[in-house]
Amino acid sequence: LPFDTVIKALSDDRRPTLHRVLPFKQYLINKCEIDNDDNEGLKQVKCFLGKRLNEKWELTNEYLIAAILHPNNKHLHKSFHLKERAILLLKQEIFKRHDRFSSTTTSTVAGLPDTSSRTSSTCSSSISSTSVTKSVCLDARDILLMEIFDKPPSVPEKKSC
């Protein structure tokens, strides 16, 4: 039974399943396609379930981003419109984070407070190039990501002969 399979797979508490929502939704919709040899009752059930899946199972941005980032789902060739939407959402998220961190001129990763012992958000003010004070609120996750990925590359010192 396809619905039992999907419910069990998405209920797995030992592995992440967010990236599997979109493919499983499409799998169920495909199972609801009407075949020529289906009897009239089965055709009505499939038609009803297919419509309900499309109408009621709303894919949030997180599902789409998780699906496009997972290596097995990268192409999303069966759902071109969802692939385009996922790529757009991913670009928006990247630009949003990039703009938030690149707009600060006085705050650097080294100047951020230590967040290892707390999970509350940190707000810092900085002056942009137009001399307007902006408030940038960083939560612990953002700070951790900055510390990991936004470090400037270390350049080894050249030894003179």
pLDDT digits (tens, 9 = 90+) for 63-103: 888 888 888 776 666 677 788 888 888 888 888 877 776 66
Q: What is the DSSP letter of 118?
A: -
Contact of 122 with 143, CB cutoff 8 Å: yes
Residues 80 and 20: their CA atoms lie apart, in Å, by: 17
Spell out the domain ranges in the chain.
1-102, 105-151
Q: Count CB-CB contacts under 10 A for residue 17.
A: 14
Indicate the SS3 state at residue 31: helix
Residue 13 to residues 9, 50, 57, 120: CA-CA distances in angstroms? Answer: 9, 27, 21, 27
Q: pLDDT digit string (tens) for 102-142?
A: 665 345 444 444 444 444 444 443 333 333 333 455 666 66
Residue 115 has a pLDDT of 43
